[in-house]
A and B are shown apart, each in its own frame.
Chain A
Amino acid sequence: MGMFASTGLVVKIVLIVLLYFSVVSWGIIFYKLLQVYRANGASKRFLEFFYKAKSFDAIGSQLDRFENSPLAVLFQDGYNELKKLRGKGDEKADPSVISTDLGIDNIARSLRRATTSEITRLEKYLTFLATTGATAPFIGLFGTVWGIMSAFEKIGQSGSASLAVVAPGIAEALIATAIGLVAAIPAVMGYNHFQQKIRVLISEMDSFSTEFLNIVQRNFAGR
């Protein structure tokens, strides 16, 4: 605390900025941990339920149980689109069959849109982690360079080069680099971790979309 109080104005501002970066980064890390963990768990449970269920209508009525799963969102969008296509067909035709081949494309587009929307949601705030990891050490370094400049200026004014005069100024300056690293290291680790987890979820969504379209093609497409 005393060390912070004795630093110059520029170093103080640098430390406050780095503290802001650190607080927000950790907030994002906590938030993403919760979001990705729940998305993974809910997706696994949804897939189990999906393959056991006998009809899309049965799955559609139970979707509230899997509100954190991106796969459930995909299913809902695809299912809604399927329902629209079935309702729009010829009234004399079998209502369980999609009237045109273009219907499959509509569902595919709907699934792609939902996938993009879910990826955007999952990757939200991750850019801040990347920015913190890339810039915080440099901001800290800037504070250190500025602090050492001030320290040397004081040493020159005092005319004494003893360790007692030199050391405190340099120690105060180095704290900026330390805080910069403290902010950057968890941010980089968190960013890499979440990127990998989100990549797995994206591949799951792609697989699910393909599977959904296959089922629709098999059971609902007109012959």
Chain B
Amino acid sequence: MIGQTRRYPGPGGMFLCSFLCHLAVFALILWFNQDAVFTPSEEPVTYVDLATLPVAAPQAGTPAPAESTPAPPAAPAPVPHAAMALPPSKPKTQPPVKGKTEKPSAEEGKEFSERMKDLQRKAEERQLEAAVAGLKSRGGNKTVGMPGAKGNQAGSDYGSYLQSRLKDAFRDVIALQSGTPQALVRIKVGPDGRITDYRVEKRSGDPVFDDAVSRAVTLAGRTLRPPPNGQSFERVFRFKPEGVALP
């Protein structure tokens, strides 16, 4: 009976053939993916904290040589507040005889207005000095300026620079499984700009997140500039899904 004895593989053989084809295609895709490794060009981006511009305490950096800056003008002698408020009272005199006192009174008025202007200018200078002193006292004696800076430049410190580099790297590799993991990491950068020490002070509890943090530190460490003054730098950073923060 023909039709029952056909000489070609049945469906079973074809399913096996199809399965092998799928395996081959899968292997091909894997092979292509291995070759095509995506390497984005990384341009370092430094974030500048505008809140600290200009630096809070310009005197924290190395002051500029004295000869390069002109000496500030000597501060005027303090003037009592009462003196500014009212012009000096003149002794009351008897009204002079008419015809003799008209010219001297005009001269006195001009002199009086000049003195008033002088007093007002001194009062404004005093207020300005008081405001500057207030700003300086708010900064305290902390050295928050850029190490090695002249003391009169706008900029950010090395900690903020390092934070910005870590933030960039972390954005590229972030991964997490749990809700809101946080990890505290102490990073020490050597004088040559390499990360010499990296310690996790507090784990997040999410192994995927901790791994991402580790990869971010490694990635950021490739393009770091050395700390100023040839010194090493050490600081703790808080890694969160939103980014990297200074604790």
Contacts and interface: CB of A to CB of B under 8 A. Distances in A.
Contacts of B14: 27-28, 30-31, 34
A208 interface: no
Interface stretch (A137-145, A156-164, A192-200): A156-164
Given A27-B17, A31-B10, A159 B176 contact: no
B178 interface: yes
A35 B8 contact: yes
Interface residues on B, range: 20 to 34
A38 B8 CA distance: 9
B210 to A, nearest CB: 15
A159 B173 CA distance: 17
A31 B30 CA distance: 28
Interface in B119-166: none
Contact of A118 (B3, B5, B10, B174): B3
Contacts of B176: 154, 158, 165
A131 interface: no
Contacts of B211: none
Interface stretch (B18-26, B62-70, B186-194): B18-26
A157 B87 CA distance: 70
Chief secondary structure at chain A's binding surface: helix
A76 B1 contact: yes
A1 interface: yes
Interface string B1-37: 1110111111100111111011000000010000000
A159 B3 CA distance: 67
A30 B13 CA distance: 10
Given A158-B241, A162-B171, A164-B174, A27 B18 contact: yes
B49 interface: no
A174 interface: no
A154 B174 CA distance: 13
B11 A125 contact: yes
A185 to B, nearest CB: 14
Contacts of A73: 2-3
B200 interface: no
Contacts of B178: 157
Q: Closest 4 CB pairs between A and B?
A: A27-B15, A157-B179, A26-B18, A27-B18
5 contacts: A23-B18, A24-B15, A27-B16, A159-B242, A164-B174
Given A67-B2, A159-B179, A165-B176, 11 more contacts: A23-B15, A24-B18, A26-B21, A28-B14, A35-B6, A67-B5, A76-B2, A117-B3, A125-B11, A162-B174, A165-B174
